[in-house]
Amino acid sequence: MKRIGFKLKEWASAGNFASWKYVCFDSRSEVFILGYARAVTACTIEVQNRIPSERFRATIAVPESRTIRDPIHRFIKLNEQETEIIDSEAFQRLRNLRQLAFAYLVYPGATHTRFEHSLGVCHVAGLLARKLGFDEDQTKLVRLAALLHDLGHGPFSHVSEEALERYSDREKLPPKTHKIHELITTILIREDPQIARSLAQNDRERIVNALGPGHGEPILKNVLSGPLDADKQDYLLRDSYYCGVQYGMFDLPQLHEVLCNIADPAGDRTLMIEPGGVHTLEQFVLAKYYITTQVVRHRIRLITDQMLIRAIILGVEEDQIDELRALYAFDGSFDFIKRYAAWGDTRLLQAFSSEQFEGKLGHFLFSGLLRRRLLKLVFRKPVIQFSPDAREALSAISKPKNADKRRHIEKLLLEEIQKHAKVVTTPGTDPSHFVIVHGYTLKSVKEEARNDEASILVNETPPILFESASVLFNSINEKLSETFVEVYAPVEYQTPAERRSLKNKLSAPIAAILEGASQ
Amino acid sequence: MTINDALLFTYDAAGGSIQGKTNLQKKMYFVAVMLGKDFGYGAHYYGPYSATVAAANQELKSLGYLSESTASAGSYNASGFEIARHDFQLTPDGRSVLAAKKARSPEDWIRVEKAVKRLSEAGDLNYMELSIAAKAYFLLKQATRASDTELVKQATKFGWTVTEDEIRKAVEFLIALDLAKAVD
């Protein structure tokens, strides 16, 4: 049930007058309409005039859907049930979570949020459902699941995940088959009172199952989480648009044109592409590769993400800020989620870079992120260039279990860096806390064409893998995925030449420290 | 024992290479069961599957410890299995790291070696049969006790299509591994 309230004059002047039925009112007076409506076209409302005694009941037509203007898809049409969900507080909070975390520090336009992305994914899921011939029930399910898929994200989305993993009470949580934000999504769908009012319990469970990492109807899973899912189809276009880049662009209508819904001999239906669609898909997979390398894994973005994670760890473990720990200490309860849902990107940054925390370790990094005073990249090397014994340790250096080893290495690195550069920090703090060594992996472009077990199939007889059907992808070396180790530090330089000189000076000694200390 | 250690030990015990991602996943599933480890397995459409194992395998590849090659596995089949087969092999760097790990944790290495040997002795199943056996064990663990017919019925709840004959063969394999026993 949804409570509606609006001024009659505004309603009438907005052109909705014709949708009224059986209403008596004084058109010269300003009348408030209060009522309750289900997802039906007509409902009974109570109309109250300014004179409290003058009450009467009337039946009105309520809008069946809402149409939202969107820069990517132009018009996104939502039905009444979906409209109720987006009006819930749990969904509205997605407006406070930027889709690309700190990418706006590189691409100033990239301030779009999980809110409009979720609307876009719902829209694309609907287009896919129509193209693939889903029935009404399947269409409803995939649209709702798509709409709700990001509901559990916290401030700075995926960056929060690492803090949640670190401080959550895993003993109180289900086995580690879910990411924490996915568990939070599940709990919100099941327990949020406003969402529960909009969705029957059976629907809530079906949505949770459809979004979960486990089993389910393959064709529905293909739309929600696979190499061609609605999520990617929206974010590639949306992220490109807001970043002002062309890396993620692909021909969405043409991609949908070449998709097909094929039954295998066992009767299971799966998503494939028509043989003539191989080049369309090449464009899509390359778009994903480029947006990953140029936006998501942009060198500045890697630094900002690591700064935020380090700021949270320092805030919790060194500065002992209870409020910060409470934000990430997920215990599976709805009480936690109520607190968690009150935080967004801006609130997190502003709260912990405020004067209240000045002089604290975390404050240095939080305020650096707020003011774009970032750590600098002073070293980068593929781990394959280290000895075989050192590679594994360096690749895993950012994992919590290696915290002591990492800290030891960072202290050694600071000593070396201080010999060659001016280190900028808050007076009275140990600057080694702001030296960060980080290991990460970039998937090969070929791996971008599939998701773990799920590969894209081309509808030949018999079906073949997209990677085999594509001459372009066939020629790409499978081995080209690389793990890198990088070092960030609070150093200052004035010119690009100084930066290059510093990196050259530091390259050999840092490599030696990493090689020696990681074994 | 880390998941990377378990994977490298399994490759070594299996002769230095494993053919196919499904084969790797299911082999590691049974190794995990026999070691009493939780490597993050859950029910997926293709049977028990662990994203953690997939990620660890990917990491070992990017570190230069494994090489990957793709081969054609033949035609499309009814169960949706892979069509191209991804084969993984220990590299010389991987073997060098493995030797150091064996020296550091000889007991872990012996446990994994025994588990892989038991798998092979219980019946040298191909990747499809191994996958069905993994599904059968997954279902049996949940039901504790079930007939072949009940297991087939349970499988449909997970979207898995298996026949009674396939289940029968899979259960024989589980019995040989001491992971199940026949009751009247």
Q: Pick B62's closest partner by Cβ from A175, A467, A482.
A: A482
Write out pLDDT tens, residues A208-260.
989 986 666 778 888 998 889 999 999 999 999 999 999 899 999 999 999 99
Contact at CB, A441 and B59, closer than 8 angstroms: yes
Q: Is B175 at the interface with chain A, CB within 8 A?
A: no
pLDDT confidence band for A187 (50 / 70 / 90): very high
Contact at CB, B96 and A452, closer than 8 angstroms: no
Q: Which residue has the higher pLDDT, A450 or B176?
A: B176
Taking Cα atoms as reference points, which of B128, B122, B127, B126 lies closest to residue B171?
Answer: B122
> CA–CA separation, A194 vs A334, rounded Å?
14
Q: Which residue has the higher pLDDT, A509 or A294?
A: A509
For residue B23, the chain A residue with the least C-alpha distance is A453
Do B59 and B39 meet the contact criterion of CB atoms below 8 Å apart? no
Instruction: List the single range of A302-306, A515-519, B27-31 with lowest mean pLDDT.
Output: A515-519
pLDDT confidence band for A51 (50 / 70 / 90): very low
Q: Is B99 at the interface with chain A, CB within 8 A?
A: no
pTM of the predicted protein model: 0.80
- Evaluate if residue A493 carries a pLDDT over 60: yes
User: B147 CA to chain A: closest CA distance, Å?
Assistant: 22
Residues 6+ apart with CB under 8 A from A511: A379, A381, A386
Give Cα A16 distance to the centre of its chain: 37
Q: What is the pLDDT of residue A58?
A: 39
User: A217 CA to chain B: closest CA distance, Å?
Assistant: 7
- Evaluate if residue A297 carries a pLDDT over 90: no
Q: What is the pLDDT of residue A184?
A: 93
> CA–CA separation, B45 vs A212, rounded Å?
12
Cα diameter, chain A:
86
Q: What is the pLDDT of residue A44?
A: 40
Q: What is the pLDDT of residue A429?
A: 87
Contact at CB, B44 and A214, closer than 8 angstroms: yes
CB atoms within 10 A of CB A17: 12
- Evaluate if residue A55 carries a pLDDT over 90: no
Write out pLDDT tens, residues A263-272.
765 567 888 8
Q: What is the pLDDT of residue A265?
A: 57
Side chain identity, residue A293: T
Instruction: List the single range of A176-185, A305-314, A349-358, B54-63 with lowest mean pLDDT.
Output: A176-185
What are the DSSP E strand ranges found in chain B? 17-19, 42-44, 47-49, 66-72, 84-90
pLDDT confidence band for A8 (50 / 70 / 90): very low
pLDDT confidence band for A190 (50 / 70 / 90): very high
Tally A–B CB contacts below 8 A: 119
- Evaluate if residue A452 carries a pLDDT over 60: no
Q: Which residue has the higher pLDDT, A406 or B180?
A: A406
| CB < 8 Å to A481, chain B | 58, 61-62
Contact at CB, A452 and B49, closer than 8 angstroms: yes
Instruction: List the single range of A177-181, A367-371, A492-496 with lowest mean pLDDT.
Output: A177-181
Residue range A65-241+298-342 forms a domain whose CATH class is mainly alpha
**Domain definitions of chain A by residue range:** 2-63, 65-241+298-342, 245-290+453-477, 375-443+481-519
> CA–CA separation, A41 vs A55, rounded Å?
23
- Evaluate if residue A99 carries a pLDDT over 90: yes
Do A424 and A490 meet the contact criterion of CB atoms below 8 Å apart? yes
- Evaluate if residue A29 carries a pLDDT over 70: no
Distances (CA, A) of A3 to A16, A30, A50, A247, B131: 18, 19, 19, 44, 52
Q: What is the mean pLDDT of chain B?
A: 84
Percent of chain A residues past pLDDT 70, beyond the cut: 81
Tokens of A236: 């590639």
- Contacts with A, B 38-97, CB within 8 Å: 38, 40-46, 49, 51-52, 54, 58-59, 61-65, 67-70, 72, 75-76, 78-80, 82-84, 93-94, 96-97
Taking Cα atoms as reference points, which of B181, B182, B178, B172 lies closest to residue B123?
Answer: B172
For residue A386, the chain B residue with the least C-alpha distance is B63
> CA–CA separation, A286 vs A274, rounded Å?
18
Q: What are φ and ψ of residue A274, in 5° steps?
A: -70, 150
Q: What is the pLDDT of residue A75?
A: 94
- Evaluate if residue A501 carries a pLDDT over 60: yes
**Domain definitions of chain B by residue range:** 3-176
Write out pLDDT tens, residues A331-364.
989 899 999 999 999 999 999 999 999 999 999 9
Q: Pick B80's closest partner by Cβ from A270, A388, A391.
A: A270
Contact at CB, B67 and A479, closer than 8 angstroms: yes
pLDDT confidence band for A517 (50 / 70 / 90): confident
Percent of chain A residues past pLDDT 90, beyond the cut: 60
- Evaluate if residue A52 carries a pLDDT over 70: no
Instruction: List the single range of A452-456, A511-515, B178-182 with lowest mean pLDDT.
Output: A452-456
| CB < 8 Å to A483, chain B | 59, 62-63
Write out pLDDT tens, residues B85-119.
788 999 999 999 999 999 999 999 999 999 999 98
For residue A219, the chain B residue with the least C-alpha distance is B45
Q: What is the pLDDT of residue A269?
A: 80
Q: How many residues does chain B have?
A: 184
Q: What is the pLDDT of residue A478?
A: 54
- Contacts with A, B 151-170, CB within 8 Å: 158-161
A300 DSSP 8-state letter: H
Instruction: List the single range of A400-414, B69-83, B153-167 with lowest mean pLDDT.
Output: B69-83
For residue A394, the chain B residue with the least C-alpha distance is B63
Q: What is the mean pLDDT of chain A?
A: 84
